[in-house]
Amino acid sequence: ESLSVGELANKLGREPSEIIKKLFLLGVMATINQELDKDAIELICAEYDVEVEEEIRIDVTDLEIYFEDPDSDEDEAESATEAIERPPVVTIMGHVDHGKTTLLDSIRDTKVTQGEAGGITQHIGAYQIESNGKKITFLDTPGHAAFTTMRARGAKVTDLTILVVAADDGVMPQTVEAISHAKAAEVPIIVAVNKMDKPSANPDRVMQELTEHGLVPEAWGGDTIFVPISALKGEGIDQLIEMILLVAEVGELKADPKVRAKGTVIEAQLDRGRGAVATLLVQDGTLHVGDPIVVGNTYGRVRAMINDVGRRVKEVGPSAPVEITGLSNVPQAGDRFVVFKDEKTARQIGETRAGEAIQEQRTEKARVTLDNLFEQMKEGEMKEINLIVKADVQGTVEAMAASLMKIDVEGVNVKIIHTGAGAINESDISLAAASNAIVIGFNVRPDVNAKRAADEEGVDVRLHRVIYKVVEEIESAMKGLLDPEF
């Protein structure tokens, strides 16, 4: 806890009177038994060139909760006694102009959470609806960029993806990207065949084209759910929601509302009047106003919470999005948060361990490159090498993917997580970063944004103009025979 002047003097090996004098010079009148706050202790210690090292007395479980692998929720769900069903968290993806935003608006307009009607729509990055007493949370930043950025930071927030495909346009490049992103994250996909109101709508073509990408409709013997909709006219929305709830039920999503809250930052910014504002998605437990909280490498106490219809709330349970204030700094989307039992622990962790550990975690997760591939294989860390293959024409893409998949060195196989014709774009890089993949470009280059993102994320991008060289390079890298001057 805190320290008295006498105790501090003792720790510093000085006379209490000396400390009292120093404090006096710093403008603090103190007696020997006076308890000092942290700032005063730090000031005095600075005078003696002593660094304050706070004793960190925390439950190991707190830290484990904080740093646990987001994918390892399973054991926890089993051991937790009070885990009950929680609403699914849904992301909407698809090609530009296929109707993602319209669908998000349409769902929201028709199904505002009961009892919340009349509230003013707040765009806090996510919203919740209710249908037949069941809730669903939608992340309202459409597109896979946000989805994968979060995943690249280790956050797993999405339970289910709605892939919007316009029936008059069919499968387009970003549709394919979205499929790769969802598959890499192992998130189930429901296809919403949109714009069915258009005379030129051709849902059969959409099904046909998606089948080629592994999404086979149930009617054709597959297991992908297709729902025809018109986001604009609000048609088919009920069926879509029904299907979301169905898939969620199969997924047996659980959380324990009785534990201290933890989850992920959906978005955050600095507000002039309110300071750091963050939208959090509570993934387990219940978050209360006043909770001491560590968010990424910042911390604070939840000062106020506002829900998606602009209402002030005192507590929110699993899968609910909520905007909070009270943090000392602005966290980043994808940062994890955890509530601690007291503010002191939260502050200590926020100031020291969390920051460092997060840093460590980030650097630890060294991206795979062709240069360190062999090392990583030797350490037994890799059983599969993820590749993203881009080329100038589709035929080349397929030929290259086929030859790359044949590579097999010491039981480590090559997995192609995404292919496409055209320049290497930002989506390719973020997918690579999130999935620890190497990007291969054949007769194509990264565009400006992709180049910048690759540098930032440390993603290895390999460019080639001769097919056999591509295979040769990957194969020699896997054998540890890569020519260092590559």
What residues make contact with ligand GDP under the rule CB under 6 A? 94, 96-102, 142, 194-195, 197-198, 230-232
Of the candidates 196, 283, 198, 204, the residue with the CA atom closest to the CA atom of residue 240: 196
Find out whether 382 is annotated in a ligand binding site.
Answer: no
- Per DSSP, the three-state class of 278 is strand
Q: Residue 198 or residue 344: which is nearer to ligand GDP going by CB?
A: 198
95 has binding-site annotation: yes
The Cα 49–Cα 91 span in angstroms is 52
Q: How many CB atoms lie within 10 A of CB 402?
A: 10
Shortest reach from residue 106's CB to ligand GDP, in Å: 8
Least distance between ligand GDP and beta carbon 91 (Å)? 13
Residue 138 Cβ vs ligand GDP, minimum distance, rounded to whole Å: 13
Pairing of strands 412-421, 384-391: parallel
Residue closer to ligand GDP, measured from CB, 41 or 166: 166
Question: CB 458 → ligand GDP: shortest distance, Å?
Answer: 30
143 appears as a binding residue in the annotation: yes
- Residue 195 assigned ligand-binding role: yes
Q: Which is nearer to ligand GDP, 172 or 357 (CB)?
A: 172
Q: Return the axis-axis angle of helices 144-152 and 173-184, rounded to nearest 10°.
A: 30
Rounded to the nearest whole angstrom, what is the least distance from the CB of residue 199 to ligand GDP in the complex? Answer: 10
Q: Which of 308, 347, 307 is nearest to 327 (CA)?
A: 347
Which distant-in-sequence residues (6+ apart) come within 8 Å of 271 by Cβ?
A: 277, 325
Helix 38-47 vs helix 16-25: angle between axes, to the nearest 10 degrees? 100
DSSP 283-332: EESBEETT-EEEETTEEEEEEEEE-TTS-EESEE-TT-EEEEEEESS---
Based on CB atoms, which residue is closest to ligand GDP, 195 or 353? 195
Give min distance, CB of 98 to ligand GDP, in A: 5
Q: Is 288 labelled a binding residue?
A: no
Nearer to ligand GDP, 192 or 261 (CB): 192
CA separation for the pair 440, 434 (Å, rounded): 16
140 assigned ligand-binding residue: yes
Q: Phi-psi region for residue 410, left (φ > 0), alpha (ψ -120 to 50) or beta?
A: left
Determine whether the annotation assigns residue 142 to a binding site: yes
| Residue 98 marked in a binding site | yes
Instruction: Choose between 172 and 407: whose C-beta lies nearer to ligand GDP.
Output: 172
Q: Cite the annotated binding site by residue number.
A: 94-101, 140-144, 194-197
Residue set of the binding site for GTP? 94-101, 140-144, 194-197
